Structure 1
Amino acid sequence: MSISGITSIALSGMRAQTTRVGAIASNIANSGTPGYARLNTSLTSIEASRVQAVVSPTASGVDPATELTDLIEAEQSYKANAVVFETGADMWEMLMSIKRE
């Protein structure tokens, strides 16, 4: 796998987690709204090199503990993808400096 492929996968992972956090924020903001359907985020692999977040309403209500747990998990996943992206960027920088010499 190429460095650009690795950074692309990490970037799609960060985007998916951003979508997930948006759904969590909506759930928390609307937790007291009568008839509100909790949004659930499913992560799927597409094209073997990207992650996609699909948000869909569920029949269940909003549980603040579940939302907080999901938020912590999304934060950790985002951070992991960011580290991979930064490592890929560092590798590109090193390759470019070697090429210049």
Structure 2
Amino acid sequence: MTLSVAMSISLSGMQAQQNRAAATAKNVANAMTPGYDRLQSKMTTVEGGGVIARVQPSGEAALPGSSNVDLAEEMLNLVEAEIGFKANASAWETGADMWDVLISIKRD
């Protein structure tokens, strides 16, 4: 695996977690909207490396006059997205640091 591929994989992970956090924000914003069907994020691996978040309605039944959003579950999803984003950002930063070292070695 090349360094650029590793950085591309971590970038796709950050983008997927960003999509997941956006879906969670929509769910929280619409928690009190009658009939709202919460959005779910499903992570799917991409051939060649990486991941993509597919956001789709859950399809679960909502109680009459309310939504099927559980705010505790949404907060957990947000924390998980934050941790996943930070892990991928750390991997990307490590790759960027390695590029800097390679460039400085080549110049010398």
Q: Report the TM range for the smaller structure's normalisation.
A: over 0.9
TM-score for both structures, normalised by structure 2: 0.91
- Could you report, residue by residue, the CA deviation over 1:42-93 in whole angstroms, capped at 9, with x for unpaired residues? 0010113121110010115100100000100000000000000000000000
Structure 1: unaligned runs, 5 residues or longer? none
Counterpart-to-counterpart distance in 1, 2:87 and 2:48: 19
Q: Which runs of 4+ in 1 moved over 4 A?
A: none
Counterpart-to-counterpart distance in 1, 2:26 and 2:39: 8
Counterpart-to-counterpart distance in 2, 1:2 and 1:73: 28
Partner of 1:82: 89
Does the alignment pair 1:62 with 2:69? yes
SS at 1:37 equivalent: coil
Counterpart-to-counterpart distance in 2, 1:31 and 1:54: 21
Partner of 1:8: 8
The letter for the 1-side match of 2:32 is: G
Name the Cα RMSD after superposition.
0.7
What is the number of equivalent residue pairs in this alignment?
Answer: 101
Moved more, 44-53 or 24-33: 44-53
Does the alignment pair 1:39 with 2:46? no
TM-score for both structures, normalised by structure 1: 0.98
Partner of 2:22: 22
Matched-pair identity in %: 51
Counterpart-to-counterpart distance in 2, 1:88 and 1:79: 14
